[in-house]
Homo-oligomer: A and B are copies of this chain.
Amino acid sequence: MADDIDSLIDELHAEADEDRSDAETPDVGIVMGSDSDLDTMAGAYEALSELGFEEVTVDGSPEGRFTFESYVVSAHRTPELMYAYGETAADRGLSVIIAGAGGKSADLPNMTASIAFPVPVIGVPVQEKSVDSVIGMPTGAPIVAVDAGKSYNAGLSAVQILASEHDELAERLVEYHDGLVSGVADVSRALHDRGIEGFRERDG
Contacts and interface: CB of A to CB of B under 8 A. Distances in A.
Interface string A26-40: 000010011100100
Contacts of A113: 76
Given A170-B118, A173-B118, A197 B137 contact: no
Given A103-B137, A150-B137, A200-B38, A78 B184 contact: yes
Contact of A74 (B4, B104, B184): B184
Contact of A136 (B95, B111, B147): B147
Interface in A1-40: 1-2, 4-5, 7-8, 30, 33-35, 38
Contact of A153 (B34, B45, B79, B137): B137
Nearest to A193: B58
A178 B69 CA distance: 26
Number of copies: 8
A75 interface: yes
Interface string A148-189: 001011101101111111000010011001101111111111
A131 to B, nearest CB: 7
Contact of A181 (B38, B78, B135, B160): B78
Interface of A: 1-2, 4-5, 7-8, 30, 33-35, 38, 42-43, 45, 55-58, 69-79, 81, 83, 86, 90, 95-96, 103-105, 107, 110-111, 113-115, 117-120, 122, 129, 131-147, 150, 152-154, 156-157, 159-165, 170, 173-174, 177-178, 180-189, 191-200, 203
- The list of the 10 closest CB pairs from A to B, nearest first, reads A104-B136, A144-B144, A76-B141, A58-B193, A118-B173, A4-B185, A142-B153, A72-B188, A105-B136, A57-B195
